[in-house]
């Protein structure tokens, strides 16, 4: 069929509903005598039909992430390199620590501090978690919770170890602009929250029934009970934990659908 | 969403209310995401690119003159970003489209076979995988035609508007892209049946 190439466009147009009545007739008559074109028509139809069925629903975090980013354009412009971001975040963590301290020192006894299981508010589980050798996903608690006024030396050391542990995790779990941003946002509520817990990947089962508080930086933020958090910590779900207050009942869990490893320039 | 509603939301954003942008995002996110997904071939890139497109739209909203639908303007923006992304990515890997490795040479997809219609789940998912692979094997400009027409469901007129080309150009580009895709799916590149076995199958009996 020498002029079948001319019919390709016609086939497409007819399939797309962009052909005239007359054009459809021409094609019909041609296809009655040209098996090759008839086959092409069917092939186009099969492919087109399947493509229409392949539509995917985007994840919820897409819109949420967009809204967060457009409302927080200032915050996202952190420094460029990963380590600079880590240092910035470590500075924020120290800042959070000193913010918490006065309240902490005033109302908490040293006994409580020395019983780390209180952090998680769930005895046996907490013991197990706290006594486990430091797994990569669980950095040690913030040193500022082993408080301050009479142990000034401890704080800087602690800070170094915190920074060091965050840096040694390096890789995918580096604290980036997003995480620091959340800690910054959380400052107002440090007295109410046990800590900020970061999950990267799927939303954990335990949170499935909860409504996210907010979507920030592409991450969904949930308020969760201490016991729920302890269970999740025991499963090793957290890539990062920033402890703020050992006596609170609830914590904030932030779930990022994927690793945030790069800071946008 | 009506053009009036659109205009209202855009005016609100420009007047300083970022939240007014959200309904515009939710309205268009499926289309933009699927555009990005079928252009980039992977969900992570599609996710990032979609977000970036919306953010760019937000940031340049004052440049939107309202002479076309917001969706068209946004789509063009996103589509250009996809093309740029692919240019930068630069790699065009050859994707195996057939199972000819296991010696099943004949059992290529046989899209051209008149008996082929994906009725079973298995056939359908084979077809989908092949289509995905076929899309990725196409050059970005051709891929874009298939995506705009068959994934995004845009009319020829809409495509012409977005690409800023003549209607006739759209028609010919689409049919060429489709032929290319079908040839890739047929595996042997000789779709029009110069392959004698296929010609015999489709031969005399069919009318």
Q: What are phi and psi of A66, to 5 degrees?
A: -60, -50
CB A83 within 8 A of CB A167: yes
Q: At residue B2, does pLDDT exceed 80?
A: yes
Q: How far is residue B196's CA from residue A105's CA, in Å, rounded to a whole number?
A: 88
Q: At residue B114, does pLDDT exceed 50?
A: no
Averaged pLDDT, B174-183: 92
Q: What is the pLDDT of residues B8-37, one digit of tens each?
A: 999 999 999 999 999 999 999 999 999 999
Beta bridge partners of A200: A256
Averaged pLDDT, B104-111: 38
What does each C-alpha distance from B131 to B81, B83, B99 come to in angstroms? 22, 19, 14
Q: How far is residue B52's CA from residue B81's CA, in Å, rounded to a whole number?
A: 9
Please tell me if residue A45 touches chain B, with a CB cutoff of 8 Å: no
Would you say the ipTM is above 0.85?
A: no
Least confident span in B45-59, B135-149, B180-194: B180-194
A22, burial (CB in 10 Å: exposed 0-12, middle 13-18, buried 19+): exposed
Beta bridge partners of A241: A197
**Which pLDDT score, from 0 to 100, does residue B67 have?**
85
- Bridge-based pairing of strands A219-225 and A250-256 is antiparallel
**Which pLDDT score, from 0 to 100, does residue A177 have?**
37
| pLDDT < 70 positions in chain A | 1-3, 74-192, 216-217, 243-247, 258-265
The set of residues, in sequence order, having a beta carbon less than 8 Å from that of A237 and lying 6+ positions away, is: A137, A199, A204
Q: How far is residue A116's CA from residue A54's CA, in Å, rounded to a whole number?
A: 51
**Which pLDDT score, from 0 to 100, does residue A21 have?**
95
Please tell me if residue B23 touches chain A, with a CB cutoff of 8 Å: no
CB A100 within 8 A of CB A187: no
- Bridge-based pairing of strands A250-256 and A193-200 is parallel
**Which pLDDT score, from 0 to 100, does residue A61 have?**
93
CB B25 within 8 A of CB A63: yes
B58-67 per-residue burial string, b: 16 or more CB within 10 A, e: under 16? beebeebeee
Q: How far is residue A247's CA from residue A193's CA, in Å, rounded to a whole number?
A: 8
CA distance A9 to chain B (A): 5
Please tell me if residue A72 touches chain B, with a CB cutoff of 8 Å: no
Please tell me if residue A65 touches chain B, with a CB cutoff of 8 Å: yes
Q: What is the pLDDT of residues B148-169, one digit of tens each?
A: 999 999 999 999 988 989 999 9
Q: Tell me which chain B residue has its CA closest to the CA of residue A18.
A: B156
Pairwise CB contact (< 8 Å): A70 & B18: yes
Least confident span in A12-26, B142-156, B172-186, B193-207: B193-207
**Number of CB atoms found within 10 A of residue A57's CB:** 10
Q: Tell me which chain B residue has its CA closest to the CA of residue A41.
A: B112
- Predicted confidence band of residue B118 (pLDDT cuts 50, 70, 90): low
Please tell me if residue B179 touches chain A, with a CB cutoff of 8 Å: yes
B69, burial (CB in 10 Å: exposed 0-12, middle 13-18, buried 19+): middle
- Predicted confidence band of residue B120 (pLDDT cuts 50, 70, 90): low
B29, burial (CB in 10 Å: exposed 0-12, middle 13-18, buried 19+): buried
Q: Tell me which chain B residue has its CA closest to the CA of residue A258.
A: B44
Q: For chain B, state the CA radius of gyration.
A: 20
Q: For chain A, state the CA radius of gyration.
A: 28
Q: What are phi and psi of A20, to 5 degrees?
A: -80, 165
């Amino acid at each position: 069929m020498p002029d079948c190439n001319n019919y390709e466009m016609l086939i497409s147009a007819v399939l797309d509903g962009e052909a005239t009545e007359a054009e459809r007739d021409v094609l019909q008559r041609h296809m009655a005598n040209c098996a090759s074109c008839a086959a092409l028509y069917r092939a186009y139809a099969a492919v087109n039909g399947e493509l229409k069925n392949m539509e995917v629903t985007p994840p919820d975090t897409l819109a949420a992430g967009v809204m967060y980013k457009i409302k927080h354009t200032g915050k996202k412009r952190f420094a460029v390199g990963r380590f600079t971001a880590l240092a910035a975040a470590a500075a924020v963590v120290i800042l959070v620590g000193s913010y918490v301290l006065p309240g902490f020192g005033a109302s908490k006894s040293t006994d409580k501090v020395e019983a780390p299981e209180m952090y998680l508010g769930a005895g046996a589980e907490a013991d197990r978690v706290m006594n486990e050798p430091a797994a990569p996903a669980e950095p040690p608690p913030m040193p500022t919770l082993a408080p301050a006024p009479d142990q000034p030396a401890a704080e800087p050391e602690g800070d170094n170890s915190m920074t060091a542990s965050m840096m040694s995790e390096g890789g995918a779990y580096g604290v980036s602009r997003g995480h620091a941003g959340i800690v910054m946002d959380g400052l107002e509520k440090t007295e109410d929250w046990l800590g900020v817990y970061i999950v990267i990947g799927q939303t954990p089962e335990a949170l499935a029934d909860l409504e996210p508080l907010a979507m920030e930086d592409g991450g969904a933020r949930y308020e969760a009970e201490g016991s729920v958090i302890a269970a999740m910590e025991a499963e090793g779900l957290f890539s990062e934990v920033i402890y703020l207050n050992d006596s609170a009942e609830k914590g904030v869990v932030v779930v990022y659908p994927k690793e945030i490893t790069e800071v946008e320039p | 969403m009506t053009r009036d509603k659109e205009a209202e939301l855009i005016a609100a954003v420009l007047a300083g209310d970022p939240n007014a942008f959200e309904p515009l995002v939710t309205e268009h996110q499926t289309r933009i995401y699927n555009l990005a997904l079928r252009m980039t071939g992977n969900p992570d890139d599609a996710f990032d690119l979609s977000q970036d497109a919306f953010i760019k739209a937000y940031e340049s909203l004052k440049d939107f003159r309202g002479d076309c639908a917001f969706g068209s303007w946004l789509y063009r923006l996103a589509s250009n970003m996809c093309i740029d992304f692919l240019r930068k990515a630069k790699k065009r890997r050859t994707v195996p489209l057939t199972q000819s490795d296991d010696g099943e040479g004949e059992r290529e997809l046989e899209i051209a076979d008149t008996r082929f219609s994906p009725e079973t789940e298995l056939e359908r998912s084979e077809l989908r995988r092949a289509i995905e692979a076929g899309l990725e094997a196409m050059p970005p400009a051709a891929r874009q035609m298939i995506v705009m027409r068959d994934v995004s469901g845009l009319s020829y007129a809409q495509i012409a508007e977005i690409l800023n080309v003549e209607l006739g150009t759209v028609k010919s580009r689409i049919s060429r892209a489709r032929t290319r895709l079908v040839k890739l799916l047929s595996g042997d590149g000789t779709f029009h049946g110069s392959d004698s076995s296929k010609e015999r199958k489709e031969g005399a009996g069919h009318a």
